[in-house]
Structure 1
Amino acid sequence: MWRGVLPAVTTKFDREDGLDHSEMERCFGLQIDAGCDGLVVCGSLGEGPMLTLEEKLAVLATARAAAAGKPVLMTVAAASTAESAAIARAAAKAGADGLMVVPSLVYHTDPAETLATLRAVAQAGDLPVMIYSNRLAYRVDVTVGIMEELAQDERFVAVKESSDDIRRTTEIINRFGDRYAVLTGVDNLAFEALAVGAVGWVAGLVCAFPAETVAIHRLMQAGRWGEALSVYRWFRPLLDLDVSSYLVQNIKLVEALAIGSNERVRLPRLPLAGERRGTVEAIVARALETRPTLPALS
């Protein structure tokens, strides 16, 4: 459950800004058919903060139906601990297999507050938890010291490592061994993280290029690093689109161009326009023109 490629899937909207469940089912199915190992719903890429709790649970239900028995994780990310705990309880009741938890969206918690919040959410949901450590996007650093405090609670089982410092992966493994499953959460550091011991990849561009993402992970696990690196180098311009304030618009446009989906986003976001849109279109066009033949995988 805590290894492999876990897409942080996008949430699809219809023309009236409602949930487009049929398109989500199609897109989620593409991930599973390509060999992804589960799904993560309602995260940053899934526009979770723009969804009501009712909508989050509806997306979860659609993901569970499409996942073919593979695990589906609910992202918990809210302004208050009370709201986060409510999401965790509701997700557990609705059948989520686990939680990916952001300590705080608005207030930048100090270490004691971070610990208290993560513990409260874990207790509320009583499900396995992947700690989402992203000090750049959320300005809260879940340090190795904080992870040591949380290690006493067996519900904390994994870390989505998104500090943007590749050294952190090694620091976690050196401190804890296999106590935590370490998954990379930065698309354009995935090869590097997998090379130093990460066992999984919570991925973004996988939404448009699932086969290539799965191939990189499986090749790395098989020790076929040269073949993985060749695919990764081709993939890098696309992967860079995940590391941006416009990651949602970027990746939804890539999905529209690569798998025929739509790029509808929820306000205040707007679809890409002008030079920014042209840049993404050019990257995708180049990638599709030079798309590699993937090595055979067992």
Structure 2
Amino acid sequence: MPLTPEASGVFPIAPTPFNPDGSVDWTSADRLFEFYHGIGSDGVTVLGIMGEAPKLEPEESIGLVKRAVAKMGAKPIIVGVSAPGFAAMRSLARQVMDLGAGGVMIAPPTNLRTDDQITGYYAQAVEAIGTDIPFVIQDYPLTLSVVMTPAVIRKIIQDNPSCVMLKHEDWPGLEKISTLRKFEADGSLRRVAILTGNGGLFLDFEMERGADGANTGYAFPELLIDVVKASKAGRRDEAHDIFDAHLPLLRYEQQQGVGLAVRKYVMMKRGILSHDAQRKPGPGLTAAAKAEVDYLLGRLAKHDPRAKI
């Protein structure tokens, strides 16, 4: 299914499952995408930053996309295609679209500093991959060190009709969402989907500011779905109550450097992944950290039975 500006809901960022020897755990990959489909995810993103995409061989990347397409029941698959050069970006983008992906996500390289450099880069990226491929802007200044103002995002969207979504991952970023929706209301910005990241850490208020959903990872993506559905239905207290119960684990998982290790550890304990391994280089969790996560899970289980693992 192609990605469109009307996209909404939850598109989890899929971690790449590995065996302890560093090989891709294809059995867990199948189970992971079946899980995302079964809980009611609206799509999925593969080969994202938290998917350890730079550590994969090209054929492994293609293999993950094939499995996502096969298991997600025709729901849109977003594929991260960011690359140092446009040749590699174009090659991967064209291949995954031919395999049935719904669109691609493009992050800016870390050396961009001026507004003109940023807008020029996206114009060149679109020229490289083709204007027929729907794409997502990844706005992630905390990791990428590229600051996109709302005006810059508006120009990228207005100049490139194939842009259908913004992955908003600024922090703090609530005012940016409000500004973009104001641009839309005054007619200076066409409608695109806004899905948010940062592990869901601000999802409760991001939805209230005008986000359409979440495009992020968390070891309990069902929580993201719960918050998005309740918020869209106007059940504000319900959305905040379930979000608040998960907030300690969300916060712990958002630690720089070990966040992916936490996520994989919990997903292993849930039986979604067979192992919590990362492909080297990648830090694991110490015994003390695992004990802290287990403690948080026990506390969460008092409010959400899905954490009784």
TM-score between the two structures when normalised by the length of structure 1: 0.90
Distance in 2, matches of 1:102 and 1:231, equals 31
- C-alpha spacing 1:47/1:234, structure 2 compared with 1 (3 Å): same
Q: Higher mean Cα deviation, 223-232 or 233-242?
A: 233-242
Counterpart position of 2:241: 230
How many residues align structurally?
290
Question: Matched residue of 1:137: which SS?
Answer: helix
Counterpart position of 2:60: 55
Question: Matched residue of 2:15: which SS?
Answer: coil
Shift of 1:292: 5.4
Counterpart position of 1:216: 227
Of all paired residues, the percent bearing the same amino acid is: 24
Residue 200 in 1 paired to residue 204 in 2?
Answer: no
Q: Is the 1:88–1:121 Cα contact (8 Å) retained in structure 2?
A: no
Runs of 4+ more than 4 Å apart:
none
Distance in 2, matches of 1:167 and 1:9, equals 28
Equivalent residue in structure 2 for 1:152, among 144, 147, 159 = 159
Mapping for residues 68-147 of structure 1, pairs under 5 Å: 68-104=73-109, 106-126=110-130, 127-147=133-153
Distance in 2, matches of 1:54 and 1:113, equals 32
Counterpart position of 2:204: 191
Q: Is the 1:38–1:71 Cα contact (8 Å) retained in structure 2?
A: yes
Distance in 2, matches of 1:119 and 1:93, equals 22
Counterpart position of 2:295: 282
Which letter maps to 1:93?
Answer: D
Q: Is the 1:42–1:74 Cα contact (8 Å) retained in structure 2?
A: yes
Which letter maps to 1:156?
Answer: C
Distance in 2, matches of 1:269 and 1:131, equals 26
Shift of 1:237: 1.4
Shift of 1:289: 4.0
Counterpart position of 1:171: 179
Distance in 2, matches of 1:241 and 1:118, equals 34
Write the deviation string for residues 131-187 of structure 1: whole angstroms up to 9, x where unpaired: 010110111122222222221211011111111121111011111345221111121
Distance in 2, matches of 1:182 and 1:68, equals 23
Shift of 1:49: 1.5
Q: Is the 2:103–2:135 Cα contact (8 Å) retained in structure 1?
A: yes
TM-score between the two structures when normalised by the length of structure 2: 0.87
Distance in 1, matches of 2:24 and 2:162, equals 31
Counterpart position of 1:269: 282
- Unaligned stretches of 5+ residues in structure 2: none
Counterpart position of 1:296: none
Write the deviation string for residues 222-254 of structure 1: whole angstroms up to 9, x where unpaired: 111111111000011122244322221111011
Equivalent residue in structure 2 for 1:259, among 260, 264, 271 = 271
Distance in 2, matches of 1:247 and 1:122, equals 32
Equivalent residue in structure 2 for 1:21, among 19, 26, 43 = 26
Q: Is the 1:253–1:263 Cα contact (8 Å) retained in structure 2?
A: yes
